[in-house]
Amino acid sequence: MSSAYSLMCYTRIPTSRDEANNEDIALSMHLALRSQTTGEWMPLNENYGVFFAAAVPRDGVPASARRACTAAERLAGEPAADRPPVSDAVAFDAVMPDVDTVLKSLTDPYLFRLRDGRFGIAATRTARGGGADGSERSSFLLAVSRDLRSYTQLGMVRLDTEAGVRRPAVDFDGRRYVIRWRDDEGAAHAAATPDILAAANAAPLSVVDSVPVAPASPAAGEFPALGSIRPGNVVEITETEAAALIARFGRVYNTGVTVRPFSLPADLRGEDARAAVRTLANATATLRYSDGSDANRAVDWNADQLAALADDAAAGRLAPGQTRRIDGRVRQTVYPVPFAVERADPSVFAWNFNGEPMFLFIATDDTDGNCIDPNGGRTHMPLRVASSILELSDAAGGREREIDLLRRGDRNSEGRVMTGCFWAPELHVIGGRLSVLFMPCFDGGPTNPDGSPNPAAGRPDMWTGSCHIMQLKQDADGRDLDPRDAANWDAPRPILDPDGGPLNPVQRISLDMTVIQDSGRWYYAWQQVGSVWIAAFDPERPDRLTSKPRQIIVPEFAWDNLIAEGPNAVVHDGRIWLIYSGSLVGIDYTTGVVSAPAGQRADLTDPAVWTKLDYPLQKSGVYNGEWQLGTGHGMWSHDEDGNLIYVFHNAEYENGRYGGRDAQVRRVHWAADGMPILDMQSDEELNPAYACITMEIVVR
């Protein structure tokens, strides 16, 4: 194998949450490439983990209930110890995170080549946060990967020892896999097997005294770009493999801009000539990127030059062979940061109001981080309407123009008084009607369903909330009424299961509902039981499901940490991309993604249809020079030129104080490997040096 790059795996020494490097993040496998020019180790994925140990379902959880635990598909169950073995969710073929599953971390990752050229990963599995979980007495975690951009966790390789398995290392010597480790006292041991893959979850491997027992030494050297780390080992990879890792885990940036040349017939005259020139004003630019991807963007062309060209063409002053040039600037709107203060779970929606294009913005009021009962009991659902996305922002006066679609004290269709929350309102057109999906909550009763005293008695209680739909009314001719008038919306209706019961049979709360359309079928996806569920519905009767809810996404990693919520889907290049958020509201919030085939009539209620990314698609990090913590609960949308944008919130966090969540807007870039990039910075999207371009028109 010809190798061009050295690749090191490692874990970081945990620092703090506000550096996105607490134990949940630090104790995962990170990757770094050695620079071929300086010799320094350069982190991939911004020094963030790329392989995390999967949560383990507890013993007693049947296969039917753990189907959404896709990362743990091959892992054996974990003894329940002193905790209840299963929750009530199991009766509904689902798991409850942290009750039916146990989060894990890892240390001491080791990379090696399999016989077939793929990568193997050996690591010590730990309890979440790095403490012992018992597996390290006699086993290590094994995973495989084709390209180190996605991983399959095979399970635990057991060894015939109870003395401890520390810093496991595996290498293929041409005929067998040699496993080396040290026990708790530091003594070296070894074992061997002809098939390391078959060894996962199998009988313990015997210690083989004849095998050299010196385990591979940690990589030596200084790591100024990595910070405090615990290095693993170094492997050689090909230039092609390195390029793929750089494309996925490096920064993708604009490397050039082109506009194709156009021709203009010399024999055009009058209005025909002017019409031909007008089409040139719609010419777009192609932006090229460092990973080989590209994107199209609108251009603001010089209006005076276009007018002069139109005059000359109309008057017959153009001769064949002449060349004219029109100057332009690639259009790039840089949205204010923050876009909307204390507006969480944001939704931006492009809509046509009886022929009038408009943009709507709706969000959860998160004043001072109180999204249940903010503003001293003046809970409301704020809506903004404008002719452009920029006009929706606080900086453009959007907050002053907000309309309250709902207020505390309004009643739902059942006559119940809605007193709080109004969480995660999301705009869609369902059954031809503009609709808002959201979760209101109601005053809590004196006791909880289990009979215990309710601390939220007599005031808004989030646990009483459930998914509702409200729809814009239409006149007798089917024309939409003005969405800016709260009276033009019907009373919110709770969304019920096919039998007329609540969505969540395990607890009460259901929230964060969105819509997915595929192959003529309509689905709702939402959060309940700390995970994402899905069911089919009929858009002509959107307050009733037509299939039973099924769990499809479970938070299985320390980075998505006990909750998966805020789903939202877009179709791109033959796949459905469903983003979701995890790690609870606050500065640790992250965005994950699962994808499924689009347009192939796949059963989207089957968890096996969805492919989960092992690491966050978006995470806390630096954007345009400033830290943004707790990024998540995003929604796909489109700007005025049809470009895909991502609307999300991040945490307000200053001097250790959490102050709520602010809405943000960014454009989405699709990388050459097909993945969406949500954190492309302004000068990476468009290098200012390439913003001004020239279009060439040849007269023929």
Find out whether 226 and 10 touch, Cβ atoms under 8 Å: yes
Find out whether 156 and 142 touch, Cβ atoms under 8 Å: yes
Q: Say if strands 229-237 and 254-258 run parallel, antiparallel, or are unpaired.
A: unpaired
Name the residue type at position 158. Answer: R
The set of residues, in sequence order, having a beta carbon less than 8 Å from that of 133 and lying 6+ positions away, is: 102, 104, 125, 126, 127
In this prediction, residue 1 carries a pLDDT of 43
Q: How far apart are CA 440 and CA 462, in angstroms?
A: 8
DSSP string, 435-453: EEEEEEEEEB-SB-TTS-B
Query: What's the angle, vertex CA 464, arms to CA 463 and CA 468, rounded to 5?
Result: 115
Handedness of CA 310, 314, 317, 321 (dihedral sign): positive
How many C-beta neighbours within 10 Å does residue 117 have? Answer: 9
Q: How far apart are CA 668 and CA 680, in angstroms?
A: 8
The set of residues, in sequence order, having a beta carbon less than 8 Å from that of 582 and lying 6+ positions away, is: 555, 559, 560, 561, 562, 563, 564, 565, 589, 590, 592, 632
How many C-beta neighbours within 10 Å does residue 206 have? Answer: 12
Class of residue 16 by CB neighbours under 10 A (exposed 0-12, middle 13-18, buried 19+): exposed
Q: How far apart are CA 344 and CA 342, in angstroms?
A: 6
- 468 forms beta bridges with 438, 494
Q: How far apart are CA 364 and CA 381, in angstroms?
A: 7
In this prediction, residue 531 carries a pLDDT of 98
Q: How far apart are CA 146 and CA 591, in angstroms?
A: 24
Query: What's the angle, vertex CA 490, arms to CA 486 and CA 495, rounded to 5?
Result: 125
Q: How far apart are CA 484 and CA 489, in angstroms?
A: 9
Find out whether 345 and 423 touch, Cβ atoms under 8 Å: yes
In this prediction, residue 83 carries a pLDDT of 64
Q: How far apart are CA 13 and CA 22, in angstroms?
A: 9
Q: Beta-strand (E) ranges in 213-311? A: 229-237, 254-258, 262-264, 285-289, 294-297, 299-301
Mean pLDDT for each 10-residue chunk of the chain (700 residues)? Answer: 81 93 97 92 96 95 96 89 80 95 97 97 97 96 98 97 96 95 93 97 89 62 88 96 96 97 93 95 97 97 97 94 96 95 97 96 95 92 97 98 97 97 98 98 92 93 97 96 97 97 94 98 98 98 98 97 96 97 91 97 97 96 90 95 96 88 97 96 97 96
Find out whether 513 and 436 touch, Cβ atoms under 8 Å: no
Nearest to 633 by CA among 560, 552, 533, 539: 560
Tokens describing residue 422: 């109004």
Phi/psi at 316 (nearest 5 deg)? 75, 25
Nearest to 463 by CA among 421, 409, 512: 421
- For residue 449, CA distances in Å to 86, 221, 453, 454, 455 come to 19, 59, 9, 9, 13
In this prediction, residue 217 carries a pLDDT of 60
Burial 366-378 (b: 16+ CB within 10 A, else e): bbebebbbbeeee
DSSP string, 504-553: -SSSS--EEEEEEEETTEEEEEEEETTEEEEEEEETTEEEEESS--EEEE
Tokens describing residue 273: 């000539």
Q: How far apart are CA 641 and CA 621, in angstroms?
A: 28
Q: How far apart are CA 546 and CA 295, in angstroms?
A: 39
Handedness of CA 566, 681, 652, 613 (dihedral sign): positive
Q: How far apart are CA 88 and CA 97, in angstroms?
A: 12
Residues, the chain = 700
Name the residue type at position 95. Answer: V
Helices and strands, number each (H, E), in the chain? 7, 44
- Indicate the angle between helix axes 270-280 and 303-314, nearest 10 degrees: 150
Tokens describing residue 402: 């907000």
Q: How far apart are CA 613 and CA 582, in angstroms?
A: 13
Nearest to 569 by CA among 534, 544, 600, 608: 534
- Which pTM value belongs to this model? 0.95
Tokens describing residue 312: 């000359």
Find out whether 552 and 532 touch, Cβ atoms under 8 Å: yes
Q: Say if strands 692-699 and 262-264 run parallel, antiparallel, or are unpaired.
A: parallel
Phi/psi at 457 (nearest 5 deg)? -60, 130
How many C-beta neighbours within 10 Å does residue 475 have? Answer: 10
In this prediction, residue 243 carries a pLDDT of 95
In this prediction, residue 155 carries a pLDDT of 97
